[in-house]
Amino acid sequence: LTQLTDRPKGQQVGVIDATGEFIYYLQDQAGNEQGHFVRVPFAGGEPQDITPSLALYSSWQISTSAAGRHLAFIASGREGFKLMVLEQAADGALGEPRCIWTSKALSTGPWLNHDGSVALVMTTERSGRNAYALLALDTRSGAILNEWEEAAASVSCGGLAPAAVGPLAAVTCNVSGHHRPFLWNWQTGTRTPIESEEFAGELQCLRFNQAGDALLLREAYRAQHRLYRYDLSDGRVRRLAIPEGSLGFMGGGAFFMPEGEIWLNWQSATTPAGVIAIDDQTGAFKRTVLAPGEVPASQAWRSVDMESTGGALIQAWVATPAGAGPWPLILHTHGGPTSVMTNAFHAEAQAWLDHGFAFMSVNYRGSITFGKAYEEAIWGNLGDWEIDDMAAARAWAVANGIAQPDAVLLIGGSYGGYLTLQALGRRPELWAGGMADVAIADWRLMYEDQAETLRGYQRALFGGGPETAGAAYDKSSPITYAAQYAAPLLVLQGRNDSRCPARQMEQFEARLKDLGKTIELQWFDAGHGSYEVAERIDFQARRMAFAYRILG
């Protein structure tokens, strides 16, 4: 491994360009996720700002054409979402960025075809909510060449096929109730479904092999991953026998490699992320490419189901420490909400288990991989059904001898931190305390201060901004329920966070203190979380000290 960056707050994501010459990443300011894309040579070197003439922007993705002559990304700011295209000369010199398309609505991508003449973009402009249409745009003129829009459904892009295969994109659509894969010809609009009787959950198209005659598909069924190979020549779909665990993190975690191998970024509850090679026809394990660091013996997780309000079937992961229960319970909720907790390594969870706490992570309504209705159940009404699901998980844990009823502690980060705050106010009788990282306390104030990428996402979730959906913003804000708090709260919040900005948490702290409630607010000098190992260890020590203190 070669270290290419050395930034005080860490660098989580980088992208290798199609030629293998450069690594691109967003260089922000102290973790605030607003800045400029830069590139460094693959062999290492100083970062080069590729858009020095632009104002600071937020962006989630940068794409390079396979021919190596075009780059594209979506820059978001107060003016909306702008698709920027740069041309690259044969010597690597970059031209000035050109804006070829704009939207006020949440948009993501792009994906470039081989020669960079076409860019695919996902946008919520048509739906006005968190459901996407897929556009094919001419990168010279910005003209819309084709589009795939489904009423009351969402379309997601997984990448474009190599040039030899033609104008095909690997796409999923959830019009059936679950995301199912298709090949979409962005010139003619033809849609070819990829079908298998084995499909049960949500499918994601990962990537084609170099020849373009095979495509990898990842399925998530009730928060558990499966991997399939689809052969374009005969339409055959084969499930590959991968180890039980999770594939991730970015790009789905599976890559075709030479010599008949697929490389997986794989992990499980007991094994940190590493890279393994499997056979590209069967999925049989072949070798370890990059082993993770050694960790102490860890506890496996098991998947459990419980019924919540309205008959909803909720899935959760449970792990228990050695000895006989019941135990104090850490009830965890993931961020998002457009996310899911899978069978993955979670160092903080293992630390709790080592110290005699049971651990439970709830995939509440709003989580992905459980179908369209489950994901969309919370849209326009955040922080309601999720709290019911957390209460149902607690009741299940108590009834099954896992949780001590007077020692259930909530924990979560980002949207999971929001649910910690919301649950403490909405159902104060259920919880002994809460611990939240980079949390949401007031949706209105957050909207005023946050980056445009997240403002767009917030509008999509609520169906509008505070000016049109103000009652929903208030109903969903923890600050509304501050007077009902009964249990103490610990919050770890980033000063430079542009997703969950500081002002809304400052106001929440002041409100709780005015009411005589117990809140400990610890600020750290970063954005939406920290990637400094020492700081993360300190965070866990603070949480544990808080838990021991309130539980006695």
465-476 confidence digits (pLDDT tens)? 999 999 999 999
> Is the pLDDT confidence value at 294 over 80?
yes
Quick one: tokens of 161?
A: 């096929």
In a domain, 288, yes or no: no
Q: What pLDDT shows up at residue 252? A: 67
Q: What whole-number distance in Å separates Cα of residue 538 and Cα of residue 524?
A: 11
Q: What whole-number distance in Å separates Cα of residue 167 and Cα of residue 497?
A: 40
Please identify, among 148, 183, 207, the residue that sits at the C-terminal boundary of a domain.
Answer: 148
CB 345 within 8 A of CB 287: no
CB 270 within 8 A of CB 298: yes
Q: Which residues of 257-272 are buried (b: 16+ CB within 10 A; e: fewer)?
A: eeeebbbbbbbbbbbb
Q: 3 pLDDT band (50/70/90 cuts)? A: confident
- Output the furthest CA–CA distance in the chain (Å, rounded): 68
If you average pLDDT over residues 314-322, what whole number do you get? 97
Please identify, among 148, 170, 192, the residue that sits at the C-terminal boundary of a domain.
Answer: 148
> Is the pLDDT confidence value at 149 over 80?
yes
Q: 129 pLDDT band (50/70/90 cuts)? A: confident
**Mean pLDDT across the chain, nearest whole number?**
93
CB 183 within 8 A of CB 192: yes
DSSP 161-226: --GGG-SEEEEEE-TTSS-EEEEEETTT--EEE---TT--SEEEEEEE-TTSSEEEEEEEETTEEE
If you average pLDDT over residues 436-447, what whole number do you get? 94
If you average pLDDT over residues 261-279, what whole number do you get? 95
In a domain, 346, yes or no: yes
Using alpha carbons, list the distances in angstroms from residue 369 to 201, 218, 375: 6, 11, 8
In a domain, 232, yes or no: no
Please state, for a pLDDT cut of 90, what percent of the chain lies above it.
80
Please identify, among 118, 148, 178, the residue that sits at the C-terminal boundary of a domain.
Answer: 148
In a domain, 533, yes or no: yes
> Is the pLDDT confidence value at 133 over 60?
yes
Q: 550 pLDDT band (50/70/90 cuts)? A: very high
Q: What pLDDT shows up at residue 249? A: 60
- Greater confidence (353 vs 32) lies with 353
In this structure, what CATH number is given to the domain that contains residue 361? Answer: 3.40.50.1820
Residue 39 sits in which domain range?
A: 1-148
The pTM assigned to this predicted structure is 0.90
Quick one: tokens of 77?
A: 């700011």
Contacts of 321 (CB under 8 A, 6+ apart): 299, 327, 353, 354, 355, 356, 357, 358
Quick one: tokens of 223?
A: 């928060």
Q: What pLDDT shows up at residue 127? A: 86
If you average pLDDT over residues 509-537, what whole number do you get? 89
Q: 29 pLDDT band (50/70/90 cuts)? A: confident
Quick one: tokens of 32?
A: 């605030």
In a domain, 187, yes or no: no
Quick one: tokens of 286?
A: 């072949």
In the numeric block, the tokens 């006020």 are attached to 104
Amino acid letter, residue 527: G
Contacts of 383 (CB under 8 A, 6+ apart): 418, 419, 422, 426, 475, 476, 477, 478
Q: 455 pLDDT band (50/70/90 cuts)? A: confident
> Is the pLDDT confidence value at 233 over 80?
yes
- Measured between its terminal Cα atoms, the distance across the chain in Å is 45
Q: 251 pLDDT band (50/70/90 cuts)? A: low
> Is the pLDDT confidence value at 500 over 90?
no
Quick one: tokens of 486?
A: 């009964």
Comparing CA positions, the residue from 310, 298, 402, 288 lying closest to residue 347 is: 298
Check residue 401 and report its DSSP letter: T
Based on the structure, what is the number of domains in the chain?
A: 2
